[in-house]
Structure 1
Amino acid sequence: MVNIKEILSERGFIEQTTHEGELDEYLNQKEVTCYIGFDPTAASLHVGSLIPIMALAHMQRNGCRPIALVGGGTGLVGDPSGKTETRKLLIPDKINDNIVKIKEQLSKFIDFNEGKALLLNNAEWLNSLEYIPFLRDIGLHFSVNRMLKAESYRMRLESEEGLNFIEFNYMLLQAYDFLMLYERFGCKLQMGGSDQWGNVIAGIELVRKIRKETVFGLTFPLITTSSGVKMGKTVKGAIWLNPSKTTPYDYYQYWINTDDRDVARFLALFTFLPMNEIKAIEKLEGADLNSSKSVLAFEATLLAHGREEAVKAYNASASMFGSRALSENILRSSTIPRQTEAEDDTSVPYSFIDLEQIKNGIPAFKIIHDVGLADTKSASRRLIKQGGAYINGQRITSFDYLISYHDIKEMEILLRAGKKRFHILKIKPVK
C-alpha cells in the first residue's frame, strides 16, 4: 500500500506532525479525509499557496478526500499568524466573489467532481454562531495563558501595533472549524503552513475535549529560495495563479529563472514527476540543468494554466531566448515538447499602437513606462541610463531617443528591460 506520508516527506512537504504512530495508522485506512484552510482576502491565490494546494492534490491522488476550506467567516476576522500588523477586513460580498475565483484556480489541481473533493466555506457555521453560547461551549476549553504563548500571538504582541481582540478570537474560530469538519465530514487531519502550528494544535485539543476523539495535524515548512527569498515574491510583486494578474508567459518565466540550487527541490514540490527522475538530475550542470529548468517551468505552467498555455509559453520563451535541447533521458515522464514546435511570440506581453502615433517619434522612456516595463517614467529613465533598455536587441543609449517608424521590423517593435522582460509593440497600419 502506498504511504502518503512517506510521499509527502520524500518530496519535502513535512515539517511537523502530531501523533506519529497513530497518524500512520489513520493514513493507511481506506477512507481518509483531510483539510487545509485558504484565505479569501484576494481574488487570486499565488505561488506561495502552492505548497498546500499540491499537498491536497497528492492526498487526492493517493486515495484521500481533500477539503479546501475557504475562510468566508474567519476572513471577516483576520488571521494574525505571520503578520506584524492587522489584516485589512473585507466585506462579505467581496469575500464571496473571491471564493468563486479561488475555486476556479483550485480546480486546476484538484478534482471536485462527484464528491472526490470538497470546497467548503466556514461562513456556513461561523456566521450563525451566538456569542454567549459560543463562549460557554467553546471558549471555556481555551487557556489564555497557553494562547499567549502561541508564536502567532507572540509576534503580534511584540509588534508596535499589538494584537486586537477580534484577532485574539481567531484561534478559537479555526479550532471550531476542525470540530465542525470532524463532526460533519469525518475529517481527522488538518494540514497547514508552519505558522499555523498553534492553531492546528488548538483544533486537535478542542476535538479531544468535546468529542473524546484523536485527530491529527501536519504542517509544511516555509519555502524560501536558496537566496533566502520567500516563494512567490519578486521585485515585481507576487506571482499569481490568476492569468489576468500574472500571464502564463510571465508565470513560466518565473519558474525558468529558478536558482540552479533549487531546481531539483522545486521539481519535487511543484510537479508530480517521479522522484527517481528528479533525483537523477540533482548533479546536472550547464545546458542539462537549464533543460531541467525548462521542464520545471513547463510542468508548473501546465498545472496552473493547462497544456495549451504551457506550450505557448514554452515556444514564446524559445523564440525570445533560443531553444534548449532537451534529452529524452532528462525527466522523461514530462510531457514537455522535446522538439520545439513552431515558435511564436503570442504569449509574450504585447500591445498595439497606431502607425500614425509614432510617425514623428515617441520618447523611449515614455513608451517603456506606458507598456509596463518600468513602474514610473523616472524608473524608465534610470533603466535607460543604466543600460538596461533595448529596442530590437539594441541598447538604448539616450532616454530621449525617439522611437519611430524607423524602428519597425515586420510591423513590430521588440522592447526589452534587463535580460528577460520583453514587450512587443504591434503596429496597426493607417486605414
Structure 2
Amino acid sequence: MNELLNDLKFRGLVNQFTDEKGLQELLEKESIKLYAGFDPTADSLHIGHMLPILTLKRFQLAGHSPIALVGGGTGLIGDPSGKKAERSMNTVEIVKDWSDRIKQQLSRFLDFNAAENPAIVANNYDWLGSLDVIGFLRDVGKNFGINYMLAKDSVQTRIETGISFTEFTYMILQSYDFLKLYQTEGCKLQIGGSDQWGNITAGLELIRKTEGDSDAKAFGLTIPLVTKADGTKFGKTEGGAVWLDREKTSPYEFYQFWINADDRDVIKYVKFFTFLSHEEINKLEEEVQTAPEKRTAQKTLAEEMTKMVHGEEALQQAIKISQALFSGDLKVLTASEIKQGFKDVPTVVLPAEEKNLVDLLVEAKISPSKRQAREDVTNGAIYINGERRQETDTVLSEADRIEGEFTIIRRGKKKYTLIQYK
C-alpha cells in the first residue's frame, strides 16, 4: 500500500475510490497534480471546508501538487448536492470579492512557494465566464445524457422538491472544470466530500469521452462528510457556523469549539484534522479510554487546530482566556481578550463615571431592585472582575475598569454581565 493512501485510510479519510489500484500505481510512479473545489458561498471558509483543504495539504507533504480551485463561476450557480432547496443567487461582484477572500485563506494551509511542488490557486470563472452557450452545448453538453444525469444522487434527491435547469447544469460545469485542469495543468485526481461522487465521476466520464479511452487516465477520491455522535451538525454552535475568519469566529471561540468535542468524536477529529503521528494518536485514544476526565485529546486537538488556523499567539491568548474564566481571575485579561471571551455575554454601555455598586446592579438589570441588589452583595453573590464584593457602600471607580474599557460583573456562579464604558 502506498504510504500516503495508507495514512489516509488510517485516518478514515477515504470514502470511495474510482480506481484504487490504478491511483496507487500512479502515486508510486510520479508526483501528480490534484484538485478540490471551493465555491464562494460566503465571505469566509468554515471548518466544514477543513477536511478537503487538509487532505490537499497531506498530498503536498507527500510530494504532490495541489490545486485549490475557487469556484468564481460555479459559485454563481450553486451546487445542488446535499441541498434541499436552491441557493439564493449572488451578484458577480459579491462572488468575486468572496473568491478573493477565500484565496487568501487557502494560502494559510497550502505552500504556494514550495521549490518542488508548489500549490496553485485557480478560479473557474477564468474559463467558465467566457463560454458561449452554443459552443458549450455543442462541445460539452452533448457528452451528457439526461438519463445519466438523472441517476446521480445530487439530482435524484431534488427531483421531488424541484430542481431548476440552472442547478441541473452544475454537474456539467464541474465536469468541465476537471477536463480543463486535466488539459491545462495535467491534473489527474479530483477529491471532494462524499456528496461530490456524482460530480466527480461525471467529470471522469467527460475526460474519457473528450480525450479518448486509451489516453485519458484520471481518478476520483471522496472523503467522508464529518458527523457528530450526538446527531447535531458538525461545525455549528449556538452562535452559528465556526468560521476560519477571526472576525466572524474569534480564536477563543474556535479553541472552545474543539476543546468541547465529545469523547465519542474526539479521536476521529484528531485523525481527520491534525498531523499527529499514528503513534501519538493511538496514545491519545488510549487516554480517552483510561482517563477521560483529563480531556488530553480535546486539549491537544484544540491546540493543534487553533495554532494551525490562527497562529501561536492567538492560541496562547485563547488558553489564557480559558484559564482566567476557569479560575475566576479576570483581572489578568486585556480588553481585546475580554471582547473574545465575553462576546455573547449581555453588555451594558454606561458613562465612565464613579457609581455605587447597588445602583449599578439595578441600572444594568443585574438585580431587579435595590433591595435585592443589597441582598446579593451582602450574601456574597456579586463579583467584580473576579473578586467578591460584600460591602453595599462600594463605589466602582476607574480602578475597577480593565484598560478603562470594561468591568465584568458576575452574579452567582454563572451569570455574567459586561459593563462597557463610553
Q: Same fold (TM over 0.5)?
A: yes
CA-CA distance at 1:189 after TM superposition = 0.3
Q: Distance in 1 between matches of 2:232 and 2:194?
A: 17
Aligned position for 2:408: 414
Q: Which residue of 1 aligns with 2:47?
A: 47
Quick check: 1:235 aligned with 2:238? yes
Over residues 79-115 of structure 1, what are the superposed CA-to-partner deviations in whole Å (9 max), with x where a residue is unaligned? Answer: 1111111111111111111122112221111112267
- Normalization by structure 1: what TM-score? 0.80
Residue 308 of structure 2 is aligned to residue 318 of structure 1: no
Structure 1: segments with no counterpart, 5+ residues: 324-341, 369-388, 395-403
2:261 corresponding residue in structure 1: 258
Residues 365 and 152 (structure 1), Cα distance of their counterparts in 2 relative to 1, 3 Å cut:
farther
Once the two structures are TM-superposed, the CA of residue 3 in structure 1 deviates from its matched residue by 2.2
Distance 1:199 1:421, change over 3 A: farther
How has the CA–CA distance of structure 1 residues 78 and 287 changed in structure 2, closer, same or farther, with 3 Å as cutoff? closer
User: Would you say the 8 A contact 1:358–1:405 is kept in 2?
Assistant: yes
> Which residue matches 1:136?
138
Note the C-alpha offset of 1:322. 4.6
SS of the equivalent of 1:68 reads strand
2:5 paired residue number: 5
- TM-score, length basis structure 2: 0.82
Structure 1 counterpart of 2:78: 78
Give the secondary-structure state (helix, strand or coil) at the position aligned to 1:28. Answer: helix
Distance 1:137 1:124 in 2: 18
Q: Provide the rounded CA distance (Å) in 2 between the counterparts of 1:283 and 1:421.
A: 37
| 1:216-267 deviation digits (Å, cap 9, x = unpaired) | 0001111111112222012221000000000001100111111111121111
In structure 2, relative to structure 1, the CA distance for the partners of 1:308 and 1:238 (3 Å cut) is: same
Cα distance change, pair 317–91 in 1 and its aligned pair in 2 (3 A): same
Aligned residue runs from structure 1 range 192-203, under 5 A: 192-203=192-203
AA at the equivalent of 2:307: L
**TM-align CA RMSD:** 3.2
- The SS at the match of 1:188 is strand
Does 2:153 align with 1:156? no
SS in 2 for 1:31: coil
- Contact persistence 2:353–2:397 (CA under 8 A): no
1:347 aligns with 2:337: yes
**What is the CA–CA distance in structure 1 between the aligned matches of 2:382 and 2:220, rounded to whole Å?**
52
| Percent identity (aligned) | 43
| Contact preservation (8 Å) 2:77, 2:166 | yes
Q: 1:322 to 1:60 in 2, by over 3 A?
A: farther
**Alpha-carbon displacement from aligned partner over 1:111-167 (angstroms, at most 9, x marks no partner):** 1226710111000100111111111111111111121111111111122xx101111
Equivalent residue, structure 1, for 2:32: 32
Q: Which amino acid aligns with 1:317?
A: S
The answer for the alignment partner of 2:377 in structure 1 is none
Question: What's the CA shift for 1:283?
Answer: 2.7
SS at match of 2:37: strand
Corresponding residue of 1:293: 298
2:123 maps to 1:121? yes
Looking at structure 2, the residues matched to 207 and 421 of structure 1 have their Cα atoms a distance apart, in angstroms, of 60
Larger Rg: 2
Deviation at residue 317 of structure 1 after TM alignment: 1.0
* Alpha carbons 1:2, 1:62 under 8 Å: kept: no
Aligned CA distance change for structure 1 residues 26 and 354 (closer, same or farther; 3 Å): farther
Return closer, same or farther for 1:216/1:293 CA change in 2, 3 Å cut-off.
Answer: same
* Partner SS, residue 79 of structure 1: coil
CA contact (8 A) 2:270 2:281 kept: yes
Q: What corresponds to 1:18 in structure 2? A: 18
User: Which residue of 139, 147, 158 corresponds with 2:149?
Assistant: 147
1:27 counterpart letter in structure 2: L
C-alpha distance in 2 between matches for 1:366 and 1:65: 58
